[in-house]
Amino acid sequence: MVVRIRLACHGIRNRPFYHIVVANSKSPRDGKHIEKVGVYDPIPGSDGIKNIEWNVDRIKYWISCGAQPSDTVAKLLSRAGILPPLPKTW
């Protein structure tokens, strides 16, 4: 069983909101997941900052168990300093 750390879409049209979840790679995007490890709100608030909340201990645990982050989650984790910076592709 391949486990992925990925985004699960919630919210409404033109107002997305994502849960960062650990799920089986075969399950649908918004389907059953193993554990919720964070939230991501891509729309900046009145102060201009996007809201990201992590459960860093659980994310590190799942990565140590072999979970693979999706491309988007890997980019967010590298910006937060949880993963090493990703190599840039040209």
Which residues touch 58 (CB under 8 Å, ≥6 apart)?
22, 35, 37
Per-residue pLDDT tens digits of the chain, which is 90 residues long: 789 999 999 988 889 999 999 999 888 888 888 999 999 999 998 898 888 999 999 999 999 999 999 999 999 999 888 888 877 777
Instruction: Classify domain 3-80 by CATH architecture.
Output: 2-Layer Sandwich (3.30)
Cα-Cα-Cα-Cα dihedral of 38, 70, 42, 52, to 10°? 30
Strand, helix or coil for residue 51? strand
Residue type, 55: N
